[in-house]
């Protein structure tokens, strides 16, 4: 009887050890894929304290959070034969834990390699101006291709961004000269438009003066008056100006008799 009691305690201890060995903790951001004798046994385990069969089941936990994947800078030749260095960043998330373990041996390395290759292909099919001015469109093209390629691995690509584009020094100088020439062109156009408007106004003034000759004489007097106020200087009046004064007096006399 005592032997049976001792054997029962032994079995109880073995059972407790087995249960403890079978306990697995799955974090909130994880899912646990259970392989029973090498085969996927059921749907992934949800977060919490889970029990598996020791020595029979093996649990692999998969991180379900969004992961940042930097894509190192690589040299790419654009469609118009310009060599540039492009670095990018991709954000992906595992949405099928079982596929990410069964369909691919290393989902992180595979996603990185296909992202790097796709970026090189898409940028290489674009002109330099498109790469610099249509970055959003290129990002969308890369994301679409990556999302399609990684879908069978249970991976969803949420965002792809070209974050750093380095141009050769010679190209930077050429673009700086082009931008400077563009600014000079706009400045000359604005100056020419100003001259055209000024010439038009001067033409209108000339038409008015030709219809009223005395207006020119009055303008001369106004200019002399402004010079006398601003400058403390001696003004020499030419003989023609005295004729102008007489003309003004004659004009004023005619106006007063009306």
For 76, phi then psi, to 5°, come to -130, 140
Per the CB < 8 A criterion, the answer to whether 54 and 22 are in contact is yes
Instruction: Pick the closest to residue 34 from 63, 60, 64, 54 (CA basis).
Output: 60
Last residue in a domain, options 36, 63, 90 = 63
Distance CA 254, CA 124 (A): 85
Report the chain's mean pLDDT, rounded to a whole number: 79
Quick one: pLDDT at residue 190? 86
pLDDT tens per residue across span 25-47:
888 889 999 998 888 887 888 88
User: How many domains in the chain?
Assistant: 4
Based on the domain organization, do 34 and 100 belong to the same domain? no
Based on the domain organization, do 146 and 238 belong to the same domain? no
Q: Which domain holds residue 137?
A: 66-167
Last residue in a domain, options 19, 41, 63 = 63
Based on the domain organization, do 190 and 236 belong to the same domain? no
Based on the domain organization, do 123 and 158 belong to the same domain? yes
**Which of 73-82, 159-168, 172-181 is least confident?**
172-181
Quick one: pLDDT at residue 6? 65
- On the question of pLDDT at 237 being above 80, the answer is no
Most confident region among 9-23, 150-164, 180-194, 240-254 by mean pLDDT: 150-164
Based on the domain organization, do 106 and 149 belong to the same domain? yes
Quick one: pLDDT at residue 43? 84
Say what percent of the chain tops pLDDT 70. 71
Based on the domain organization, do 89 and 142 belong to the same domain? yes
Helix, strand, coil percentages, rounded to 5, for the chain: 60, 25, 20
Based on the domain organization, do 145 and 189 belong to the same domain? no
Based on the domain organization, do 71 and 163 belong to the same domain? yes
Quick one: pLDDT at residue 1? 45
Based on the domain organization, do 83 and 147 belong to the same domain? yes
Per the CB < 8 A criterion, the answer to whether 160 and 142 are in contact is yes
Mean pLDDT of the region 148-158: 91
Instruction: Pick the closest to residue 224 from 240, 236, 239 (CA basis).
Output: 236
Based on the domain organization, do 71 and 159 belong to the same domain? yes
Distance CA 199, CA 217 (A): 21
User: Which 8-state DSSP code applies to residue 104?
Assistant: -
- On the question of pLDDT at 122 being above 50, the answer is yes
Distance CA 246, CA 241 (A): 9
Residue 248, Cβ density class (10 Å: 0-12 exposed, 13-18 middle, ≥19 buried): middle
- On the question of pLDDT at 155 being above 80, the answer is yes
**Which of 97-106, 151-160, 210-219 is least confident?**
210-219
Which stretches does DSSP call E strand in 64-173? 66-77, 83-94, 155-166
pLDDT tens per residue across span 74-92:
888 888 888 889 999 999 9
Distances (CA, A) of 154 to 89, 90, 99: 20, 16, 5
Based on the domain organization, do 247 and 183 belong to the same domain? no
Based on the domain organization, do 158 and 182 belong to the same domain? no
């Amino acid at each position: 009887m005592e032997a049976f009691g001792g054997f029962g305690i032994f079995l109880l201890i073995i059972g407790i050890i087995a249960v403890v060995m079978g306990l697995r903790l799955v974090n909130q951001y994880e899912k646990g894929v259970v392989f029973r004798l090498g085969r996927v046994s059921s749907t992934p385990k949800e977060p919490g304290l889970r029990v598996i069969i020791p020595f029979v089941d093996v649990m692999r936990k998969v991180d379900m959070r969004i992961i940042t994947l930097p894509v190192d800078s690589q040299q790419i030749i654009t469609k118009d034969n310009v060599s540039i260095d492009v670095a990018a960043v991709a954000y992906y998330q595992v949405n099928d834990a079982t596929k990410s373990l069964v369909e691919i041996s290393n989902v992180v390395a595979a996603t990185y390699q296909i992202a790097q290759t796709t970026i090189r292909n898409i940028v290489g099919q674009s002109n330099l101006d498109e790469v610099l001015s249509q970055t959003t469109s290129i990002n969308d093209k890369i994301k679409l291709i990556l999302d399609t390629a990684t879908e069978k691995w249970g991976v969803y690509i949420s965002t792809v961004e070209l974050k750093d584009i380095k141009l050769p020094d010679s190209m930077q100088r050429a673009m700086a000269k082009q931008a400077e020439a563009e600014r000079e062109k706009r400045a000359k156009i604005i100056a020419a438009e100003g001259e055209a408007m000024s010439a038009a106004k001067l033409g209108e003034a000339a038409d008015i003066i030709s219809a009223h000759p005395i207006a020119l004489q009055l303008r001369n007097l106004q200019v002399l008056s402004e010079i006398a106020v601003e400058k403390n200087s001696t003004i020499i009046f030419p003989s023609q100006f005295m004729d102008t004064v007489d003309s003004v007096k004659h004009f004023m006399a005619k106006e007063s008799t009306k």
